[in-house]
Structures are given as C-alpha cells and as structure tokens.
Amino acid sequence: MSFLNIFKRKESKVSSGRQNSDRGILVFENTSEVIRAENVLKKKGWKIRVMGPPPEIRSGCDLVIEIPLIEELNILRTLEKAGVQPLEMVPVSSPLLQPVNLFQNKDFGKYLMIRAANMKLTVDKETMKIVNISGGGCPDVPYLAQEMVGKSLSEAPSPREIGHTLCGYALQLAYEETGRKCSL
Amino acid sequence: MFAIVGTVPDQDFPLAVGEVLLVNGVIRIEGKSVPVNRGTPALLAAAIKTCEVLDQPVPFGYVVGDIGQGDGSRRLYEYLTRNLGKCDPQSKAGADLNTITFHYLQPDVDWHNRVLFAVDGMAQRPVLIADAGFMYAAKMSGQSAKYDLFTPDAGELAFLADEEAPHPFYTRGFILHEEGQIPELIARAYEHKNASRYLLVKGKRDYVANRQGIQATIDSPLEEVMEAMGGTGDTLTGIVAALIEAGVEVKEAAIVAARVNRLAGHYAKPTPASQVMEIIQHIPRALEEILNENGGIREKTFAC
C-alpha cells in the first residue's frame, strides 16, 4: 500500500468522528522506530495499526501507530521495556488534545490531597502514608487503591508499575506531584 | 429486580451472576467473597443497605475480576450481549430487570454499543444508570441520551461537557473542573448531547439536573473530607439505584440519595483517612431519618 492510500484511509477514519474516539496514535522520532514498535506490539498481541499521521501532528515522521486509547499505559510500558519509546501520544478524535496537566491541592491539615485530572491521592503529611485514593472510573482504580493505600509513598508500588489505564496514568501524575510537594 | 454490573479488583475472581449479599462487611455472590473498599463492591453494599430499609429484594449482580487489563470486562460484556434480559441458567433469575446500573468497566465503545443493543432487545426497557468507566464509554459512543441517570463528579462532568474529550484525562484545559463552573458544565453537556435524562453531580454541593436546567441542589450536611475518601461516589450511586428500583421517580431518588449519602457521611465523622465502609454502616440510620420526615418519600411512595 502506498503512503497516499494510507492517508486516504486515515482521512476517512478521522472524519468518522466518535467512532474512533477510543483510539489514540503514538508518534515516534522516525519510521524505523515505528516499525520496531509495531513489531514489538504485534508480537505481544496488541490490536494496533500503522497509519499516516494527520497534518496537525506531523513531526518529521510519516507514520504513527494507532492504539486502543484505554490501553495506553500498558502499551507504553511494553515499548519502554523494548527500548522504543514514542515522542508523544494523542487521541485520534482530536489531534490537538493534550492530557490534563493541572494539579489541584487541598490541605486538610494533617492530610494533603492532590488531584490530577479525575484522580485524587491523599497522604498523611507526617508519616507520608497514602491514606486514600478516590476518583476515576477504570477497573484498575480499585486495584491501585488496594495495593497502595496504607503504604508510604516510598514503599507503595507506583501506578506506572501496576496501572493499566488512563485513570492509572492520571494517578501516576498525582503520585509524582505528591512526592514533589512532600519533599519541599 | 435491579441489576448492578461491574468489576472487582481481583484478577482471579470469576464471572459471577446472581443475588448479592453483604455478610460481615463482605460482599458475597455465588459463594464468592470480596471486601468492600471502593468501586463496585461499595456500590453494591450501599444498595443492599438501602434495600434493607426499604424492605426490597437485594440487587442482582453481574460481577467479574478485572485489575485494569480489560480481560474481565470483555468477558462480562460478552456475557451481557448474550444473556441480558434472559434467565441466567445457573441462578434462574435475571429475566425481569427493571433497573440496570453499569459501573466500573473498562471503557470500550464497541462493547458498550453491543450491550446497549442487547438492552434495546429486552422486552421491557429498564431504567439505565451509568457511572465510572461505563459512563465514559456511554459518552464516547454519543449515546448518553439513552440513559436515565449519570452520576459524575466535577471532573467527570467537565469530561461530559467537553465534546472532544475521549476520557477525563483529556478534558481540555479551558473547561475548568471547578465547583463554581458546574451550572455551565451541565448546560454544555446537554448542549452537546453528552448527558443522560438526569444528571446527579456529586461534590461539595450536589446538583440534580436535566435538559431544562438545575432541578435541585443539596449542600448539607457538608463533610469536605468525603472528597478524599474512595467510594463515597459509589455509595451515592448504589443508594439512588435502590431507590429507583423501589419505585421512586429518578429526580426524587437522586435528591433523596444525595441527602442520605451526605447524612451517612456526617454520622461517620470521617477524616481523609476514613474508609467507605465506615459510611455505609450509617446509611440505614440516615435513610430512615429522611424517609420519616413529614411529607417525605415514605408517605408519598411507600404508603399502602
């Protein structure tokens, strides 16, 4: 298939709007990295496709990898282990979208709550123990809470290690921000 | 009969379908147990406590283990597409569902659409409630209007209001997740057809809204630390589901549930380190108190 055909298929896919709103695209430094990543992911059984990038996010490469958005964290971990990491990941439905990058803090005196996107993590400021995790809607949230609550920030597994979804990714951001705040 | 569909954080928990019990603070279904920490077990526990007071049958659960890899959710989705509205061969129940609450499931638009198609095929359309991951999928599919109730928090409402966002993680920055913005976010969610017939927005102040606008706000008692506690939104969804199943109209059920959840939280005297079971055990007292108010819903709805 020529690149022209790839772009044609891409255009029709993007124009279908909501049908693709659960897909994301991985953008890499160059085409060889895309191919390496494609091989790694296909060997692991991920349902991914190599596509032409939309004009808005062209960054010097001609190909991107379309992935199920909800599996982003898992896929990124697979690629990290294989030593082939993308430059960025954006949802297909709107290439200009960026992850929420604002944090909100709420000080409860003895406790500090940090919110990133839809996830909230609360620590005891004296002991650095994670006392609660709330928010989110993906199935790894109860699992992450089960594994992290009651442990100190340094002892608890990070969401990056054991999370699988975008909620897990958001919790990772809250976890990192909490570490930064508590080390000040 | 009302169904609750969701996941538990145990990879080895098999797909279980049947009546759900709460025994010594543990959820039991088909002889299997799961603790009540947050998520679907918290929703189930709150629904059961509500049913006890209302003297209603316990919920019918469709539950599977999933720790975020989506495998359990997909097995459950597949089961639902084949069996929703039919009698479960093992439990001999599940054919007469009046209310279905979809909860912590891996968001997947394709599977969501197939499940909704199965709902469309049911002899009698049930009241549909969605929260958590299934609500995300419902919004992504563009079929929010087919639901009777969503129960988002402020961050999730911002996601519903952002017609472009495929997940709360990608809500655009100009759409603020602030409590003060909630009326605008509600209007925007309806404008872009990304809201259910009613919304129950949970937060420092709870809002009950529909396409016509905000119908009620509930802001007392206020226990701010409940925001930090995992599962306090799940309990709210469980209470409202049980009330709707008992025959309370969706709007009234949402108002009562918000009041009960807040009052139960107040009685628990929580700290940010409290766990949700501490609130669940106060639901019967809170519900009794609100039902017995003069002109309350017990007289209006449950009078013989």
| Mean of all residue pLDDT scores within chain B | 93
| % chain A with pLDDT above 90 | 39
Residue ranges of A 23-62 with Cβ closer than 8 A to chain B: none
What's the pLDDT score for residue A57?
63
In chain A, residues with a C-beta closer than 8 Å to the C-beta of B165 are: 97
Average pLDDT over residues A151-172: 87
What's the pLDDT score for residue B134?
96
Q: Tell me whether strands A119-124 and A130-135 are parallel, antiparallel or unpaired.
A: antiparallel
In chain A, residues with a C-beta closer than 8 Å to the C-beta of B170 are: 91, 97-100, 166
Q: Nearest residue on chain B to A22, judged by CA atoms?
A: B166
What's the pLDDT score for residue B27?
98
- What count of CB pairs under 8 Å joins A to B? 184
Over residues B84-131, the pLDDT tens digits come to: 988 777 777 777 899 999 999 998 888 999 999 999 999 899 999 999
Q: Nearest residue on chain B to A102, judged by CA atoms?
A: B173
Q: Hey, of B40, B114, B144, B167, which one would you mutate to test binding to chain A, going by the most A CBs within 10 A of its CB?
A: B167
In chain B, residues with a C-beta closer than 8 Å to the C-beta of A128 are: none
A77 interfacial to chain B (CB closer than 8 Å) = no
Average pLDDT over residues B199-227: 97
What's the pLDDT score for residue B180?
80
Picking from B7, B37, B168, the nearest residue to A139 by CB comes out as B7
In chain A, residues with a C-beta closer than 8 Å to the C-beta of B5 are: none
A78 interfacial to chain B (CB closer than 8 Å) = no
3-state secondary structure of B147: coil
What's the pLDDT score for residue A52?
65
- CA-to-CA separations, A76 to A50, A67, A104, B140, B167, in angstroms, rounded: 16, 10, 26, 23, 17
Picking from B39, B69, B136, the nearest residue to A142 by CB comes out as B39
Picking from A74, A124, A166, the nearest residue to B167 by CB comes out as A166
What's the pLDDT score for residue A50?
75
What's the pLDDT score for residue A167?
85
Task: Domains for chain A: give ranges and CATH numbers.
Answer: 3-91 (3.30.70), 103-183 (3.30.390)
User: How many angstroms separate the CA atoms of A74 and A97, rounded?
Assistant: 20
Minimal CA separation from B278 to chain A, in Å? 14
In chain A, residues with a C-beta closer than 8 Å to the C-beta of B167 are: 69-70, 91, 166
Do the chains contact at A139 and B135, CB–CB below 8 Å? no
Query: Phi-psi bin for A107: left (phi > 0), alpha (psi -120 to 50), beta?
Result: beta
Place B144 in a pLDDT band, splitting at 50, 70 and 90.
Answer: very high
Over residues B247-274, the pLDDT tens digits come to: 999 999 999 999 999 999 999 999 999 9
Do the chains contact at A120 and B165, CB–CB below 8 Å? no
What's the pLDDT score for residue A20?
56
User: What are B170's two structure tokens?
Assistant: 């990608």
Looking at the predicted structure, is the pLDDT value of residue B199 above 60? yes
Do the chains contact at A142 and B140, CB–CB below 8 Å? no
Q: Hey, of B105, B169, B224, which one would you mutate to test binding to chain A, going by the most A CBs within 10 A of its CB?
A: B169
Average pLDDT over residues B268-281: 98
Class of CATH domain B2-146+229-301: alpha beta
Picking from B40, B168, B273, the nearest residue to A132 by CB comes out as B273
| Mean of all residue pLDDT scores within chain A | 79
What's the pLDDT score for residue A62?
52
Q: Is the bond preceding residue B221 a cis peptide, omega within 30 degrees?
A: yes
Over residues A34-66, the pLDDT tens digits come to: 778 988 998 998 888 877 666 566 543 356 788
User: How many angstroms separate the CA atoms of B274 and B281, rounded?
Assistant: 13
Picking from B73, B171, B228, the nearest residue to A122 by CB comes out as B228
3-state secondary structure of B120: helix
CA B247 to chain centre: 16
A99 interfacial to chain B (CB closer than 8 Å) = yes
